[in-house]
Structure 1
Amino acid sequence: MSERAIDLMKPQMQGLLAKHLRFHIVGAFPASLGVAAFCKFAVAKPRKKAYVDFYRNYDSMGDFEEMKKAGIFQNAK
C-alpha cells in the first residue's frame, strides 16, 4: 500500500445528519428571529400607523357624497 492511502481520512458515516442539523439550526434560529423583527418593524408597524392616521380624519359621509355626485352609485339618490 502506498503512503498516500494511509494519510486519507475515512468519511464520517454515523451522526453526519445530526452534526449538520445542529450546525444549521444554530444559524437558522437567529436568522428567523431577525426576519420576524424586520417584518414587524419595517412592515407591520408603519402599516398600522398609516391606518390610524387615515381613519383619524376620515369623513365617510363626505366621501359618500363625493362618490354620489360622481355617479358611482346608481341606486343612491
Structure 2
Amino acid sequence: MSLPKPMMRGLLAKRLRFHLPVAFVLSFAAAISYKYMVSEPRKKAYAEFFKQYDAVKEFNAMREAGVFESVRPSGE
C-alpha cells in the first residue's frame, strides 16, 4: 500500500479561496466591534467631560498651586 501523492499544483489558490474571504470578514468584524465598543464610548466620555470643563477655572487653580514658573499667583 502506497501513500497518495500530495497535492502541490494549485494548493495556494485552493487555500486562498477559503482563507481570503474569512480574513476580510474577520477584519471587518474587528473594525466594527472596535468602533462601537471602544471609539464611540470614548467620544461620548470626552464630550461629557468638556461640557462642564472650565479651562480658566482650571488654569487659575494651577496658578494658585504654583504649577507654572512664569505666571505669578494673583496674591503677589
User: Scaled by the length of structure 2, what TM-score is found?
Assistant: 0.86
More helix by share: 1
Instruction: Specify which of 11, 22, 45 is matched with residue 16 of structure 1.
Output: 11
Instruction: Specify which of 68, 71, 75 is matched with residue 76 of structure 1.
Output: 71
Deviation digits for residues 35-54 of structure 1, max 9, x if unmatched? 00111011110111111011
Residue identity over aligned pairs, in percent, reads: 46
Deviation at 1:22, TM superposition (A): 1.3
Larger Rg: 1
Gaps of 5+ in 2: none
Gaps of 5+ in 1: none
User: Scaled by the length of structure 1, what TM-score is found?
Assistant: 0.85
Matches within 5 A, 1:21-40: 21-40=16-35
- In the comparison of the two structures, how many residue pairs are matched? 72
Deviating beyond 4 angstroms after TM superposition, the runs of 4 or more aligned structure 1 residues are none
